[in-house]
Chain A
Amino acid sequence: MVMEKQQTSTFAILFALLPISLGLLIYWTSESGSENSNADLTIISYGSFVSSWGPGPAVGKIFEKEYGVKLQWINAGDAGLIIERLRFQNANQSVDVVLGLDQLTIDGAREVLEWRNFSYPEILWHKRLPKDALQRDFVPFDWGPLAFVYKKGQLEPPKSLEELLSKKYQGTISLQDPRTSTPGLQFLYWILSEKGIDAGFSFLGNLSESIHSVSTSWSTSYGLFKRGQAKLTFSYLTSPIYHMIEEESGDYKAAIFADGHPYQVEYVGIPEKCKNCDLAEAFVNFLLRPEIQKIIMAKNYMLPVVDQIEQGTEFANIPKVRLIPFSAQSLTRDRRSLLERWKKLGL
């Protein structure tokens, strides 16, 4: 009898769960807008920018205090998925500021949404920031040259792309796949714009002996490098500064190529459909302030877009490298066929 009762009550609990779950689901999906509907400005960015140790919360806190408003950050996870995230936001979830697109992804963003043109304030731009970095609808907020990073004592650093073909670098390089990673796409475009398309692919074919692995993301390839499986990885010129500041290690170095380095510029933009457009514009201007640029530089380990910010910091000591201007537009147009050819290389 007791057993029968127990069985019945467990059974009843189980089936009570069903209507309760359905009811909650219906209630939840019928709720429109945001839980934080009192937020004045909604900003979408990638994970490490939004995380507590990233620049987002620190910068946001100062902005909230100064303007007396409330910000809501949305984490798009991977920077490459920001555009898709925007496409899938439901009608009630408007985004005011999009932060974290780079020069290879802004064209895609322009296809998905319309963006507000921006009137730049009087700014002393960073002297080394390439002039073509300034766009009418996207404002650069940080940037950094890309480079191969190595650990002192583990190998002799290469001085040019050609040197990477040498036997001494056999099985040492950890790269990112251009189909899934933005730095990976930067690397591919770098080679192709430097050498031309056919010669570039032939170079990549020859490089296969030197490649340890091609990862899906920068974090995996950098992880392989950090754990000692790969001796060289494609990363940022500023990466060694992280190890110097956070790990007090001067062992990590960037290999300097006399022929030059590609660079990544990160942008902030305001969609035309913004809800609080004036405040969004104020936020973008705010990001260009020297004290805010300093925070972004220190927490994102990228160079500031405003001049003189890095003076007196480790960032002032990074090697002055030649930047390779390349037109991503023609390559972006042929991206599909270029990636097909990349696949066939079998790296």
Chain B
Amino acid sequence: MRRALGLLVIVVLFSPYVLSFFHGQGLSFDLSSSDINVFAFTLLQAFLSSLASLVFGFFAALGLIYSANRYPVFYKWILRPSCLLPNVVPVIMVILASLKVIDPFPFGFVGILLLHTLMNLGIVALSIQKIISNKLSGLSEVSALFGASRAQFLFRGGLQTIFGDLAMVGLFVFAICYSSFAIPLVVGGSQFTTIEVLIFEQIRLEGDWAKASFLALLQAISIFVLCYFIPQKIEASKESFRRNQYLSSRIGIPIALIPTLIIIIGLFGSFSMGIKQFLRLDLLRAELPGQILNSLVVAIGTGLISFLLFNLIAFVFYRGTLKKIILSYAAPSTVICGFAFLIFGPQGELSSLIRMILGISLISVPALIRLQFANTIYSLERQREVAVLLGASEAEVFKQVIFPQSFFSACFLSGIASFWAWGDFALSSIVADRPHTVALVIQALMTSYRLELAVLLLWLLLICGILTFALFSGIGYVYHKKLIS
């Protein structure tokens, strides 16, 4: 049964590639020297962006731990959602807000790194916080007893212990920046072309799906190869938020808050104009409740499908090759994925929503596995081995050991996927046949001069996103407590 489910996971994950190659009439293996330069630049900017996100994310994580211990209410209701916000807001909003607040803005390569770091720092911080709490709490207490300094603790053992986990988080950011589209173009200029732009050029300007599919495949293979050789550390973990001098720092709190503050300050204002525009659009007022409901359906649906996929993956994860494939897999380019799903099913509102749910889930899950879920199920490997040695079947092991302990992580990450679903318009605009969701309405408003109303609706979208994220996380927390008690 596990083998069949493993095959199912592979089929599901690779379906967008298969569909797009099938539909693009094969592949065109035609790479020019300028294409190779694009690959080199994309690699470089993604590497440096992920490095910067990791460094600042690490300090922000220390701030999160400090705040979780000292100011739990502030941590739970302000700091933690704030960390997620820059990663879920539509990219164009991050660009507009950052260019307004950071004046003069350092256009060029530095600008690209800066925006990528601002976007990913918070989510990286949340993930590193969990890694630190899981894996370094005990070690840090022992180090403190022996009188080691913070630098000694970190550089003579602490960072080494979590190196594999940090590499996975780095890969999460790397994969996002590797497929970055708008940021390099807007703040970098035309010479800073990424592979995603190249894919888009092939589709939009040349109509060359064979070449676009080949570029997407190369994009995926390069991430696959990179991930394949990242070392994985398997450590038994115990979640802990104990106070510790090495693992918390108040300086990290402003670092964690800066990206969100930039977005809030940058997008604040012009509310009166937004309201005025809203009042002039009678039809939008009438349609908006339905569009909010559709967005809710997409968000909850994405959360549920992601949850299902996380658990399927947790069940089949402990097979050597399959584990490597799952960890190394990167979702295809949004444009490729969107068009691949277009050929499925009939037209209409329900079909559009189903396509959105499937597409966003398939794009989100591989990234979220790298961000945290792999770490969670890795940490259960020893327990699983003991249970198998004691004669438990795979199904029993999953039911009694893995499922209860990975439940919270699966719910938390499904919450993030549902948050992303609220703000997605990249994939949705390709697979939807009308502006069915709030994100699509925001996109359409922006293309018809109504930026202020778009910003106003963005706030609504963020509030709804936080609520669905809280719903998934809350369910995860409550059931996790019950399941392991």
Contacts and interface: CB of A to CB of B under 8 A. Distances in A.
B183 to A, nearest CB: 9
A92 interface: yes
B416 interface: no
Interface string B434-450: 11000011011111111
Contact of A51 (B339, B350, B448): B448
A67 interface: no
A74 interface: yes
A29 B311 CA distance: 24
Nearest to B108: A346
B205 A339 contact: yes
Nearest to A35: B348
A214 B432 contact: no
A53 interface: yes
Interface stretch (A5-13, A131-139, A317-325): A5-13
Given A18-B312, A21-B305, A52-B283, A180 B204 contact: yes
A21 B308 contact: yes
Interface stretch (B185-193, B245-253, B254-262): B185-193
A34 B435 contact: no
Contacts of B239: none
B17 to A, nearest CB: 15
B346 A47 contact: no
A83 to B, nearest CB: 7
Contact of B449 (A74, A92, A229, A301): A301
A36 B347 contact: yes
A193 interface: no
Per DSSP, are chain A's interface residues mostly helix, strand or loop, or mixed? Answer: helix
Interface string A200-244: 000000000000011111111011101111000000000100110
Interface string A27-50: 011011111110000100011101
B451 A223 contact: yes
Interface string B352-375: 001000100000000000000000
B3 interface: no
Given A29-B345, A47-B435, A223-B92, A347 B189 contact: yes
Contact of A11 (B103, B399, B443): B399
A336 interface: yes
A117 interface: no
Given A222-B449, A229-B99, A301-B449, A50 B351 contact: no
Nearest to A243: B449
A51 B344 contact: no
A334 interface: no
Contact of A220 (B95, B483, B485): B95
Nearest to B312: A18
Contacts of A35: 346-351
Contacts of B209: 87
Interface in B432-485: 432-435, 440-441, 443-451, 479, 482-483, 485
Per DSSP, are chain B's interface residues mostly helix, strand or loop, or mixed? Answer: helix
A216 B312 contact: no
A216 B349 CA distance: 28
B218 interface: no
A3 B96 CA distance: 51
Given A18-B308, A223-B451, A224-B96, A75 B433 contact: yes
A10 B479 contact: yes
Interface residues of B, number: 81
Given A29-B345, A224-B99, A214 B186 contact: yes
A234 to B, nearest CB: 15
Given A10-B479, A50-B434, A219 B446 contact: yes
Interface string A63-95: 000000000111101101101110111101100
Given A220-B95, A229-B99, A340-B34, A14 B308 contact: yes
Contacts of B358: 25
Given A14-B311, A35-B348, A72-B347, A220 B182 contact: yes
Given A52-B281, A75-B432, A81-B430, A11 B451 contact: no
B347 A77 contact: no
B429 interface: yes
B304 interface: yes
B193 A33 contact: no
Interface in B323-357: 339, 342-351, 354
Given A17-B308, A57-B283, A229-B99, A343 B185 contact: no
A50 to B, nearest CB: 6
A102 interface: no
Contacts of A226: 451
B30 interface: no
Nearest to A252: B449
B308 A75 contact: no
Contact of B207 (A83, A227, A228, A346): A83
Contacts of B308: 14, 17-18, 21
A179 B197 contact: yes
B132 to A, nearest CB: 29
A227 B96 contact: yes
Contacts of B242: none
A81 B347 contact: no
Contacts of A53: 281, 283-284, 448, 450
B107 interface: yes
Nearest to B358: A25
B277 interface: yes
Contact of B348 (A34, A54, A108, A219): A34
A177 B100 contact: no
A246 interface: yes
Contact of B273 (A111, A247, A339): A247
B342 A85 contact: yes
A89 B23 CA distance: 11
Given A74-B433, A85-B342, A213-B107, A111 B207 contact: yes
Given A28-B351, A50-B434, A80-B204, A88 B342 contact: yes
Nearest to A75: B434
A342 interface: yes
A277 B205 CA distance: 29
A223 B96 contact: yes
B181 interface: yes
A10 B207 contact: no
A127 interface: no
Interface in B33-62: 34
Interface of A: 3, 6-8, 10-11, 14, 17-18, 21, 25, 28-29, 31-37, 42, 46-48, 50-54, 57, 72-75, 77-78, 80-81, 83-85, 87-90, 92-93, 108, 111-112, 177, 179-180, 213-220, 222-224, 226-229, 239, 242-243, 246-247, 301, 335-336, 339-340, 342-347
Given A3-B483, A84-B204, A246-B277, 17 more contacts: A6-B482, A14-B311, A28-B345, A31-B346, A35-B347, A35-B350, A53-B284, A74-B434, A75-B432, A75-B434, A77-B430, A77-B432, A177-B185, A223-B96, A226-B451, A343-B193, A347-B189
27 contacts: A8-B399, A10-B403, A11-B399, A11-B403, A18-B308, A48-B447, A51-B441, A51-B445, A52-B281, A52-B286, A53-B283, A84-B339, A111-B207, A112-B207, A179-B205, A213-B99, A214-B185, A214-B189, A223-B96, A227-B99, A229-B99, A239-B449, A243-B449, A246-B449, A339-B201, A343-B191, A343-B193
